[in-house]
Structure 1
Amino acid sequence: MNTQVEGPVLFIADLHLCAAEAATTRAFEAFVAGPARQAKTLYILGDLFEYWAGDDDLAAPYHRHIADLLAELTKAGTEIIFVAGNRDFLIGTDFCTATGITLATEPVTLSLSARPAILLHGDVLCTDDHAYQVFRQQVRNPGWQATFLARPLDERRAIIESIRAQSEAGKQQKTADIMDINESAVVSAFQSAECDLMIHGHTHRPATHIHSVNGRPCERWVLSDWHGTAPYLAWTDGALTRKELFI
């Protein structure tokens, strides 16, 4: 059964927070102190961090700062639901305990003022990128994660940095279409969820698409990534609206 959610509800994704991106960090601080404080529920649909090497990395000052911001927000009364992305799928129970957020299993199905919807990070829909889907299946395996998390933190960070460098190099060999959403995967997701509204991130291509599914129109809203501003979707008064907080 879908969770019934009433507004105001906010949706964000692809912040890629890290100490090197001071402008984006300031935008997140302002977002938490402003619009998010007024929301009943905030959905973070993945890639909150540039990467996450494991919950023991909470000891890093920057990560602790972000965790404290989230904890302040949940204590103030905003419910935060987190869906893992391709950069932060190792976020676990310790992070959730420290922040008060709820870790949700993808896909999330809910009803926004009685309108059925499905929420995803979005990478699972990029089925034309076969190499990535093989990698995704590997790193989402609990056995692989347990083995990886048993390594020293510094070693994990170095491995992730190496994988990221290889990924960026690999993107140069792939067409934009391969890395984008597959239409059949989208239709299948709509059919499985029995809804007509989808919200996701990952592609960094904000837009609103209309898909025909079993003869009916279905809306797919793609969230924007963050680059020094705070773009988000807001569900209020029975409608979705794109908003952006400028710092």
Structure 2
Amino acid sequence: MNAAFNKNIYFLSDFHLGSPNAAVSLQREKRIVQFLESIKNDAEEIFIVGDMFDFWFEYKYVVPRGYTRLLGKLAELTDAGIKIHFFVGNHDMWMRDYFQTELNIPVYFEPAFFEFNGKKFLVGHGDGQGPGDHGYKLLKKIFRNPVCQWMFGILPPYVGLGIANYFSQKSRELANKKEEVFLGEENEWLIIYSKEVLQKEHVDYFIFGHRHLPIDFTLNENSRYINLGEWINFDSYAVFDGTITTLKYFNK
């Protein structure tokens, strides 16, 4: 994909709205909306790189309750002509067509290439990429299976969403117990994955989420790996100004 560069390109990820409870999630949602409001005048495009929600499932005629402030802001931005891209994460992979039809936001299920002002980007959530994590990769195939999605979809929303939110919360609690530290380039799966891609083609910037740790790592003299962190503890994001991509923090 190619796009002419006019203003800034923004990348952010891992809001996990809904976690750990409605009150805390609402404050985070308001902060994200405040950030989006602050960039609306200089944003050419915005990439939301997965796990916007701690859980999301689109029934045919039912949309999960809540998040009206954020969804309304996204609609406002796309109505104003700002292009927004959404990549599904491991917590909100059960997307259908709600974002496309209601918000005019394309949804991506796999990493995708983009080019801005002569710079090549590979953007994706990052789950299941690189070596290891074989248990999750198998689980991801099951969750992405249309039959499994149909079976979950025939459950009444009250039952299905209740079960899913319970396990989603447990997953987040387990992840929160792990200390988020840089493991070194030999142990960071997304760095390994980025190096594998570079053996086949040049990429200026690898932009991922999922890791929950803001990382700006130089792969070689022409390529960098940037992990966007998350909005639970860091409020971190990246911005490309036409020349360079910078990892930043909102209101820090």
TM bin (shorter chain): 0.7 to 0.9
Choose from 179, 197, 202 the match for 1:189. 197
| Aligned-partner residue type, residue 127 of structure 2 | D
Displacement of 1:166 in angstroms is 5.2
Matched, 1:210 2:191: no
Alignment partner of 1:223 out of 221, 224, 228 = 228
Cα distance per residue 1:40-74 (max 9 Å; x no partner): 100000011111022555362x2333322211111
Q: 1:200 aligns with which of 204, 208, 211?
A: 208
> Aligned pair in 2 of structure 1 residues 140, 40: CA closer, same or farther (>3 Å)?
same
Q: Where does residue 74 of structure 1 map in the other structure?
A: 78
**Partner Cα distance (1:31, 1:182) in 2:** 27
- Pair 1:236 & 2:241 matched: yes
**TM-score, length-normalised on structure 2?**
0.83
Structure 2 residue aligned with 1:54: 58
Give runs of aligned pairs for residues 112-191 of structure 1, distance below 5 A: 112-125=116-129, 127-164=131-168, 167=171, 181=189, 183-191=191-199
1:3-38 deviation per Cα after TM superposition (whole angstroms, max 9, x unaligned):
235241100000112333232112112012111443
Separation in 2, partners of 1:166, 1:27:
24
Farther off after superposition, 11-20 or 122-131? 122-131
In the alignment, is the contact (CA less than 8 A) between 2:130 and 2:190 conserved in 1? yes
Cα separation, 2, equivalents of 1:142 and 1:63: 26
In structure 2, distance between residues paired with 1:188 and 1:69: 37
Identify the residue that residue 13 of structure 1 maps to in structure 2.
Answer: 13
Give the total of aligned pairs: 242
Unaligned runs of 5+ in 1: none
Residue 234 of structure 1 aligns to a residue in which SS?
strand
Alignment check: 8 A CA contact 2:54 2:168 kept: no
Deviations 1:172-219 (A, max 9, x none): 79x986x9525543322344564232000101111111235xxx6531
Per-residue deviation at 1:149?
A: 2.2
Judge which range, 120-129 or 162-171, deviates more.
162-171
* 1:245 aligned partner: 250
Q: Does 1:24 align with 2:23?
A: no
1:112 deviates by 2.1
1:107 and 2:111 correspond: yes
Aligned partners of 2:234, 2:224: CA distance in 1, in Å? 25
User: Which deviates more, 232-241 or 163-172?
Assistant: 163-172
SS at 2:246's partner residue?
strand
Residues 78-89 of structure 1 mapped to structure 2, 5 A cutoff: 78-89=82-93
Amino acid at match of 1:73: L
Query: Structure 1: how far apart are the matches of 2:209 and 2:238?
Result: 11
Contact 1:109 1:117 in 2 (8 A): yes
The whole-number CA distance in structure 2 between the counterparts of 1:131 and 1:156 is 23
CA contact (8 A) 1:121 1:202 kept: yes
Identity fraction in percent = 23
Distance 1:206 1:143, change over 3 A: same
**In 1, Cα distance between equivalents of 2:173 and 2:38:** 38
Pair 165,30 (structure 1): closer, same or farther in 2 beyond 3 Å: closer
Task: Check 1:211–1:119 CA distance in 2 against 1; reply closer, same or farther (3 A cut).
Answer: same
Amino acid at match of 2:194: V
